Structure 1
Amino acid sequence: MQYITFNNDVKIPQVGLGTYLLAPDDAQAAVTYALDGGYELIDTANAYVNERAVGRGMSDSGRAREEIFLETKLWPCFYESDTAVDETLERLGTDYIDLMILHQPAGDYLAGYAKLEAAYKAGKLRSIGISNFNKAEIENLLAHCEITPALIQVECHPYFPQTELKELLDKHNIALQSWYPLGGRDNKSILEEPIVSELAEKNGKTAAQVIMRWHVQQGNIVIPGSKTPSHIADNIDIFDFELSDEDMEAMAALDQGKPFYERTAEKIAFYATWHPNVEGQK
């Protein structure tokens, strides 16, 4: 495993397991399998409604809590809650979270970030971050916050490597984590690119492993999601080969400068009002 060191000196593994769209039983089993198979990083969120299952999966694994990097995301309806962090800790069955992220730049995200800062100072969170913020929103947050985010979670892949955003992130030593490392669920367009297939054959790896390796060499952190044991095992099996400078240049030609996910004002407004059923989860 390789690691990235945050701006507060906390280390995060570069490859982890995402649990987006995983039902509780699937999330629990996937987390246990991943941790017992060499993973150290697990990602979940209030909005995934599987935090209790993730906590059980961690407990069922052979790893001690201090060997696991656990991250979750706070949903906008909880940004002004005084108890949301403690309630998240309870659902996950832990007394600290390694990284807690504001999930969307919706609602009063400045108030939400202040809640994370308070929990960080109280020792409940080892690091704090943001997700899906654009440059203007990041700059607004930086103008008001006391603690610089350690990480931002955004869409990033060979079609959209976030070159412009990374200039701002580098300036403030903010790490980038991709939530669409392969281009999105059921989207095989990047996987089927000729250069990706060529590099997979050249290295004796799958197309997905080539893309994951590209991310690692770009300095990105990745959290591909899966409930399939073979896919979970393959996604972390990327540290026994390296793409050459020429290979990376060839991959750079895939940049289309456009994300798959289309952000709209209507979506942001919806995110500000939607309430995930965190109380009713298994």
Structure 2
Amino acid sequence: MDTIELSDGTAIPQLGYGVCLVSDEEIQSAVESALEAGYRSIDTASIYRNEDGVGRALAATGLPREELYVTTKLWATDMGAARTVEAFHASREKLGLDYVDLYLIHWPAPATDAYLESWEVLEELREQGWVRSIGVSNFLPEHLDRVIGLGGSVPVVNQVELHPALRNRETEEANTARGIVTEAWSPLARGAVLADPVIGELAGRHGRSPAQIILRWHLQQGRVVIPKSVTPERIRANIDVFGFELSGEELARIDALDQGLRTGDHPATFNP
């Protein structure tokens, strides 16, 4: 598995397994299937309510801890100094881990303006060894600048919605300018772009599935990507994307599919 070096000197697998909307009943078998297929990075969050199941799967595999990369996230209603510490340790204990590889603030929730206080707590958790790397999710450039303006750490990752129908160029360019790696959630637009004729043509040309074409597009543009599936066959197919390459012209054709189509909420207005 290829990795991407983060600004704090650690490295993250470029292709991981996302578990958003996977029920706690399905989660253990799904994560075990992903680990058996070769994934070593698992992305969850407290709001997904499946950290217990992820922890059971991690324990059942018997893989060495140093081979695993586990991300979880702080939910918006848990922001603020005291609640951030409590929420982090609740997540860590559910996962059954001594430390978390990457901890993210899930949404800026700008109406509360509590993400700055939580960011300083994340820095303390990292200094104490509870978490290796810290970052954010769904942050717009103005949110990033306020965090950086605190004068401490720069987030190593900004996980945002990004797929062919939502290129999210402004945020990705802002990430790159600040040394932040872009991680794409909903990388397949929840299936909305799989039937696009351009994607279908490229899939036929390369003898690959539409999902594999889109994941390859992400990888070649330097993003971390976390596709989700609970079907073992698709889990295996989503990691089988390293045996071919898209041309520059093909990448540009996929780039041109941008419609500004969001499958989730807008970071400027989402305030749970």
TM-score range, shorter chain: over 0.9
Residue pairs, 1:250-265, within 5 angstroms: 250-263=253-266
Q: Number of aligned pairs?
A: 266
Whole-angstrom CA distance in 2 between matches of 1:152 and 1:84: 20
Which range moved further: 25-34 or 83-92? 83-92
Residue pairs, 1:67-82, within 5 angstroms: 67-80=67-80, 81=83, 82=85
Residue pairs, 1:1-282, within 5 angstroms: 1-80=1-80, 81=83, 82-106=85-109, 107=112, 108-184=114-190, 187-188=191-192, 190-263=193-266, 267-268=270-271, 271=272
Whole-angstrom CA distance in 1 between matches of 2:126 and 2:44: 18
Judged with a 3 Å threshold, the aligned counterparts in structure 2 of structure 1 residues 65 and 122 are, in CA distance, closer, same or farther, namely same
Alpha-carbon deviations, 1:6-57, whole Å to 9, x = none? 0011111111111111111211111111112100110100101111110111
Whole-angstrom CA distance in 2 between matches of 1:65 and 1:133: 30
2:76, 2:105 within 8 Å by CA — same for their partners in 1?
yes
Whole-angstrom CA distance in 2 between matches of 1:130 and 1:242: 30
TM-superposed CA distance for 1:87, in Å, is: 2.0
1:76, 1:112 within 8 Å by CA — same for their partners in 2?
no
TM-superposed CA distance for 1:262, in Å, is: 4.1
1:224, 1:235 within 8 Å by CA — same for their partners in 2?
yes
SS at match of 2:132: coil
Whole-angstrom CA distance in 1 between matches of 2:63 and 2:202: 34
TM-superposed CA distance for 1:77, in Å, is: 2.4
2:140, 2:268 within 8 Å by CA — same for their partners in 1?
no
AA in 2 matched with 1:39: Y
Whole-angstrom CA distance in 2 between matches of 1:155 and 1:264: 10
Which range moved further: 192-201 or 248-257? 248-257
Write out the 4+ residue segments of structure 1 that deviate beyond 6 Å after TM superposition: none
TM-superposed CA distance for 1:165, in Å, is: 1.5
Alpha-carbon deviations, 1:113-160, whole Å to 9, x = none? 111110001111110011111121111111115111000111001122
Alpha-carbon deviations, 1:86-108, whole Å to 9, x = none? 22211110010000000111231
Give the TM-score of the pair, scaled to structure 1.
Answer: 0.90
Unaligned runs of 5+ in 2: none
Which range moved further: 193-202 or 93-102? 193-202
Whole-angstrom CA distance in 2 between matches of 1:248 and 1:91: 40
Unaligned runs of 5+ in 1: 272-282
2:37, 2:239 within 8 Å by CA — same for their partners in 1?
no
SS at match of 1:226: coil
Whole-angstrom CA distance in 2 between matches of 1:54 and 1:150: 23
